[in-house]
Amino acid sequence: MYRNTLVLIMGEAKRRKNLGIPPREKTEDIKLPQLDKKAIQQKVRSTLYKYPIIPFLFYGAAILILIGGLFYVYKSFNIA
């Protein structure tokens, strides 16, 4: 029983060595893509110029969410 617990605690490198398997190949580091802030700003601005109602919809939704949150707090705590 004690031997089985050692097998469970053993690291992968030691287990591979005991089984006669060669060491695992090292993978290359993943390179993250660079963000081009100016290109993103251009896309956002062009979208906003194309659809100028988006900011009004966004702010309207935010105000509705705030009013709904205040109503929820009012109802849940019975502040009246």
**What are the tens digits of pLDDT across the range 22-69?**
888 887 778 888 889 999 999 999 999 999 999 999 999 999 999 999
Its pTM stands at: 0.47
Distance CA 34, CA 29 (A): 15
Q: Which residues 6+ apart lie within 8 Å of 16 measured at CB?
A: 22, 23, 24
Q: Is 34 strand, coil or helix? A: coil
pLDDT, tens digit, 9 for 90 and up, residues 9-34 = 668 888 888 888 888 888 777 888 88
The CA distance from 79 to 72, in Å, is 11
